[in-house]
Structure 1
Amino acid sequence: MTDKQIKPWVKPALEFGPILAFFAGYVFLKDREFMIGGVTYSGFILMTALFIPILALSTFLLWRITGKLSVMQIMTLVLVTVFGGLTIWLNDERFFKMKPTMIYLLFAGILGFGLLRGSSYLSLVMGEALPLDYEGWKKFTFRMMLFFVALAIANELVWRTMSTDAWVKFKTFGLPIAMFAFIFSQSGLFARHTIQKDKER
C-alpha cells in the first residue's frame, strides 16, 4: 500500500497524543483512588487502563490514514497491552513502569541481530526519510542500538529509585526529548553518508 498524503501535524499528533493524554489524566487523577469490583485502584492504574485503548485507537487511525505501520509501532502496542494488562490484573504499577525497558531492549536486540546478519533493519523503517548509504546505515543502526540500551538502563534507574511522579514526567518528556537530542546529534553522520538523489539519476 502506498503512502497517503496527510497533513504534517497528523502523524505526530497520533503518535504523541496518547502519551500526553496519559500524562494529563495522571496529573488529574494521581491523588484519587477508585473502588471497582471491590478492589481499590490508584489513579495511575486507572490511567493505564485508559491508555491501552487510546493507544490502540491512535495506532488504528495512524494505519487508516497513512496506510502502514512500522514494526516498532506494532511492537509498542503489543507490549503496552501486555504490560498494561499485567499492571491492571495484578494491580501493580511496576509492570507498566517496566514496559519502556522491555521495548527498548527488544528494539536494541532486533537492531543488533540485524547487524550480525550484515543488515540494517533500521533502514527498513526510516529508509524513505533518511537516504543513507550502506556504511551510514550500519553506523547509525549501531549507535541507535546502544542508545536504546542506554534508554532501558535510564528507565530502570528512574522507576526503581524515584517517585511515580518523577517517572511519569521522565516517560512523557524526558524520553522523547532524549530521542530528539540523539537524532539531532547524528547530523554529522547524516551529512557524510546521505545519498544525493541527483547523483542517482
Structure 2
Amino acid sequence: MNMLVKLALDLGPLIVFFVVNSLYGIFPATAAFMVAIGASLAISWVIHREIAPMPLITAVFVLIFGGLTLYLDNELFIKLKPTIVNLLFAAILFGGLLVKRPLLQPLLHSVIQLEEQGWRILTLRWALFFVFLALANEVVWRYFSTDFWVSFKLFGVMPMTVLFGMAQVGLLKRYAPAGDELSHQTDMQS
C-alpha cells in the first residue's frame, strides 16, 4: 500500500475525532470516530482484500467502547479504550514471548528480516511500549480535560509511536541476518 494512503487510513479517524471534538464535543466526536474507523477499514479492504490484525482489533474496540459511550452517555468508555487495547497488545506480545514465539515476527516478517534474538528483543520493547502507552492514557484521561485527552491521542501518542519505532533502527541493523542490506550497511560503517 502506498505509504501516504496507509498514513491517511491510520491517522484519518484520529484527525476526524480531534476536529469533531473541537467543534461539537466528545459525543459527536465519538460517533464520527466510529464512522471514520469503519470507513478506514472498508477502504483498506477494497485496496488489499485484507485487514491487518492491529487495525481490526482497534476498530472492534472503538466500536464497542464508542457504542457504550454513546448508549450510556458516559465518556469514560471511550477514554478507557486506549488503555485496554494497549494492555491487550502488550499481553499478546508478552504471552508470545513466554511460549518462545515472538509474535511480531509473523506480522512483520514480510518487511523486516531479523535473527531470532532480534525478534525477541523487538517484541519485548514493543510490549513494554504498549504498557507505557496504557499508563500514559490513564494519567492523561484522569488528570486532564477531555479536550486535552483528545489532543494527546493525536499529538502525543502518534509522535511518541513514530519516535519509538524510529528508535528501533539500531536493533534492526544489529540483528539483520548476514547478507541482508541493513546488516551490510552496518558492516560497511564499522
Shorter-chain TM-score above 0.5: yes
1:10 corresponds to which residue? 5
Q: What's the CA shift for 1:48?
A: 0.4
Q: What's the CA shift for 1:46?
A: 1.2
Matches for 1:38-49 after TM superposition, within 5 Å: 43-49=25-31
Please point out which of 82, 85, 98 is paired with 1:103: 85
2:188 corresponds to which residue? none
| Structure richer in helix, relative to its length | 2
Q: How many correspondences in the alignment?
A: 181
What is the alpha-carbon distance in structure 2 between the residues aligned to residue 153 and residue 197 of structure 1? 37
The question of 1:148 aligning with 2:148 is answered no
Q: What's the CA shift for 1:123?
A: 1.3
Once the two structures are superposed, residues 4-55 of structure 1 have per-residue CA deviations (whole angstroms, 9 ceiling, x without a partner) of xx433111111111111111111111xxxxxxxxxxxxx2111101211210
1:36 corresponds to which residue? none
Structure 1 alignment gaps of length 5 or more: 1-5, 30-42
2:17 corresponds to which residue? 22
2:20 and 2:32 in contact (8 A); partners too: no
Matches for 1:27-176 after TM superposition, within 5 Å: 27-29=22-24, 43-176=25-158
What is the alpha-carbon distance in structure 2 between the residues aligned to residue 189 and residue 28 of structure 1? 42
TM-score by length of 2: 0.91
Point out the more displaced range, 190-199 or 85-94: 190-199
Q: What's the CA shift for 1:158?
A: 0.4
2:20 and 2:28 in contact (8 A); partners too: no
Once the two structures are superposed, residues 100-119 of structure 1 have per-residue CA deviations (whole angstroms, 9 ceiling, x without a partner) of 00110000000011111111
1:3 corresponds to which residue? none
Q: What's the CA shift for 1:197?
A: 4.0
What is the alpha-carbon distance in structure 1 between the residues aligned to residue 114 and residue 167 of structure 2? 16
CA 1:160/1:151 → structure 2, altered by over 3 Å: closer, same or farther?
Answer: same
User: Which SS does the other structure have where 2:3 is aligned?
Assistant: coil
1:32 corresponds to which residue? none
What is the alpha-carbon distance in structure 1 between the residues aligned to residue 151 and residue 29 of structure 2? 14
User: Which SS does the other structure have where 1:9 is aligned?
Assistant: helix
Once the two structures are superposed, residues 121-157 of structure 1 have per-residue CA deviations (whole angstroms, 9 ceiling, x without a partner) of 1112222221111110000000110110011000000
Shift >4 Å, 4+ stretches: none
What is the alpha-carbon distance in structure 1 between the residues aligned to residue 105 and residue 155 of structure 2? 26
What is the alpha-carbon distance in structure 2 between the residues aligned to residue 8 and residue 113 of structure 1? 30
Structure 2 alignment gaps of length 5 or more: 184-190
1:35 corresponds to which residue? none
TM-score by length of 1: 0.86
AA aligned opposite 1:61: I
AA aligned opposite 2:118: G
Among all aligned residue pairs of Structure 1 and Structure 2, give the percentage whose two residues are the same amino acid.
Answer: 40
